[in-house]
Amino acid sequence: MAGENSEIVALRDEFRGHLEQFYAMLKLAPPYHSVEKAIAHLTASLKAMAPEDRALVAANPARRWAQYKVAFVESGLSQKHRGIIAGLARSGQTGLPAEYQAFLDVYLS
């Protein structure tokens, strides 16, 4: 996207990669429409931030994952495959890296 802030592009691309890995490791087909909604939600929220706040998100993994989790929930993505993912999360057998707990916590609450 021409003229778009490189931090936004990098964060959006990283988020897409995390979503792809999340579903691949759970052996589930990603709900593509909802994935695109989540990415659009993240992009809009990043664009609405002050540049200083966006830089803090880009520099801090905890802040990034907090933004990713909000986009994951607000887009409705967390409602897809809910029963399957909740069962995997409760069993602790997802095989996902620790940072993905931000997504799994949504299914455990």
Domain positions in the chain: 6-108
Q: What is the residue-level pLDDT of the chain in tens, covering all 109 positions?
A: 444 689 999 999 999 999 999 999 999 999 999 999 999 999 999 999 999 999 999 999 999 999 999 999 999 999 999 999 999 999 988 999 999 999 999 999 8
pTM for the predicted model, two decimal places: 0.91
**CB-based contacts of 62: which residues, under 8 Å, 6+ apart?**
none
- Element housing 11 (H / E): helix 6-25
CA dihedral of residues 77, 6, 60, 103 (deg, nearest 10) = 10
**CB-based contacts of 72: which residues, under 8 Å, 6+ apart?**
19, 38, 78, 102, 103, 106
- In whole angstroms, give the CA distance from residue 42 to residue 44: 5
- In whole angstroms, give the CA distance from residue 43 to residue 96: 25
3-state secondary structure of 64: helix
